[in-house]
Chain A
Amino acid sequence: MATHPGGLITKAAPAVRTRRLVRKFGDRVILKELDLTVAPGEFTALLGRSGSGKSTLLRAVARLDHTVEGSGELTVPERVSLSFQDSRLLPWLRVLDNVTLGLRGPGARERGLTALEEVGLAGRDRSWPHELSGGEQQRAALARALVREPELLLADEPFGALDALTRIKMHGLLRELYERHRPAVLLVTHDVDEAVELADRVLVLEDGLISVDLAIDLPTLRSRRDARFQEYRDTLLTALGVAQPPAPA
């Protein structure tokens, strides 16, 4: 599988391809003939102002928007996993049953246990969701997404509800799991630092189109104090219309 960043065309078929994707609510056109290609195994972050249509795009790619008007072509792989801002664990199923929900074939239980172990929740399989902390719930949700061995992982602000410390830990975990399983990732986030830290490619959605498509050429282990990290960050913040004071030397 291609490991280089930047969304270069790989030999394999793209993981996601949208052509002239249109989505509208009434008269308001949210996505205006949007073209987007994500390569297999590519970690892409999607930024954009609040209300710019990030969730709309993600839900379209997840094919969850039955009721939304629109047109365009959409190609997605067979195995797509989703994670939401809330962990969305079913309160009436124990953690393991949540993780293996909808899993078919033999060995579902074992796969679920392995996934829980991977996210550091070994031994919590019999707990009820409300017995987990917010971060643990989000980790369980991550296990549920990964146990399906997705070719594409769609995540809509999965860390939005977490505190700063837990979020840092989750970044590390997500990146680690990504390295191991190599799904294509489309991560919606509000946080520019999070995008530059995690993704190999950052997109900005503006006025219904991708206005910035930035390849992040940084080593896997990234430091926020890296000068190039700052450069990427400033570029993106400017693209998002946030004026940046000159960084202190």
Chain B
Amino acid sequence: MTDLLPTARTGGGPAVLTKSAAPPQDPPQAPGPRVARGTRRRLGPGRSLPFGRLIGPALLVALWWAASASGYLDPRILSGPGTVISTAGDLVATGRLQDNVLISLQRAGLGLFFGVVSGVVLAVAAGLSRTGEYLLDGPLQIKRAIPSLAMLPLLILWLGIGEEMKVTVIALGVAVSMYINTYAFLTSIDSRYVELAEGLDLGRAQFIRKVVIPGSLPGFFVGLRLGVTSSWVGLIVVEQINATSGIGYMMFQAQQYAQSDVIIVGLVAYGIFGFASDAGVRAIERRALSWRRTLAG
């Protein structure tokens, strides 16, 4: 788009740019100043549609449907949506889906909870005191470089293969992304606001409540969205290792019996959870950060 350069804007048609290299050709011009009509070029994405975010996924499903209905898609490779839905119905009827979903949700939820709490506490401790920074930031930056999944062997050695290990793996991943983002925003809170708080004689607790937390909330949400995603990733991994329940286990079993429809049900369940939880975080974020004016609107 070359016409983002400052040129006189006319009402009709795009503005014309003459490159200085080309021989200047004076366009026939109406006498008098050119009148710009309408508003300026919009650089932000514009107004948002309600539930507009669902359009993309819906389109994807429609495509899948069309492909398998037209026989384009071999059901041995990928079952059609109809088969998947009826399989899901069967799984619900036998209670297999609910039980596994519930246990998965519980793992992810617990991991997320512990991860968020510990990540935020660590970020506040490291951000507000030098001692905290010196003691905590280094190890956490190192931990950031080591994926939680790489620590799996050690964690299995320490905690066994039970729920504790699973929740810990998930929580570790979540905690790191919570810490990194919350800490980054917290330490970049404008020093003028700190000065203001000092000038108003705010106490420590009030300073944290009114300045630090709201000021680092955008980072908290960035971390939370990454954390939610990483909790699903962690969940998938731990459920494929020595699990005897959960969506991952259900899918693993289906693989043994070549039931691609059950695998799809599991994938869809993961997808729905991932999408719904991200949408949930976004909704909370929009409410909590309603004071912000951003490009996303």
Contact = CB atoms under 8 A, between A and B. Distances in A.
Contact of A92 (B196, B199, B217): B217
Contacts of A80: 199
A92 B293 contact: no
B199 A90 contact: no
Given A91-B292, A92-B214, A102 B201 contact: yes
Given A91-B292, A92-B215, A92-B217, A101 B210 contact: yes
A62 interface: yes
A88 B196 contact: yes
Contacts of B26: none
A64 B211 contact: no
B214 A93 contact: yes
A64 B199 contact: yes
Contacts, number: 44
B193, B199, B201, B292: which has the most chain A beta carbons within 10 Å? Answer: B199
B277 to A, nearest CB: 25
B206 interface: yes
B192 to A, nearest CB: 6
B195 interface: yes
B293 A101 contact: no
Interface in A20-66: 62, 64
A213 interface: no
A93 B214 CA distance: 9
A129 B290 CA distance: 12
A86 B192 contact: yes
B45 to A, nearest CB: 20
Contacts of B198: 64
A86 B206 CA distance: 22
Main secondary structure, interface of B, reads: helix
Contacts of B200: 101-102, 144, 148
A88 B193 contact: yes
Contacts of A229: none
A130 interface: yes
A91 B202 contact: no
B51 interface: no
A3 B206 CA distance: 37
B158 interface: no
A81 B198 CA distance: 11
B292 to A, nearest CB: 7
A81 B201 CA distance: 10
Given A91-B292, A102-B200, A128-B291, A64 B195 contact: yes
Contacts of B291: 91-93, 128-130
Interface in A90-148: 90-93, 101-102, 128-130, 144, 148
Contact of A90 (B210, B289, B293): B210
Nearest to B190: A88
B199 A62 contact: yes
Interface string B255-297: 0000000000000000000000000000000000101110000
A81 B200 CA distance: 7
A62 to B, nearest CB: 6
Contact of A84 (B192, B206, B211, B293): B192
18 contacts: A62-B199, A64-B199, A80-B199, A86-B192, A88-B193, A90-B196, A90-B210, A90-B211, A91-B291, A91-B292, A92-B215, A92-B291, A92-B292, A102-B197, A128-B291, A129-B291, A130-B291, A144-B200
Given A81-B199, A91-B291, 20 more contacts: A62-B199, A80-B199, A84-B192, A84-B196, A88-B192, A90-B196, A90-B210, A90-B211, A90-B214, A92-B214, A92-B217, A92-B289, A92-B291, A92-B292, A93-B210, A102-B197, A102-B201, A102-B202, A128-B291, A130-B291
Sorted from nearest, which 6 A-B pairs have the closest CB atoms?
A102-B200, A92-B214, A82-B199, A92-B291, A102-B202, A88-B196
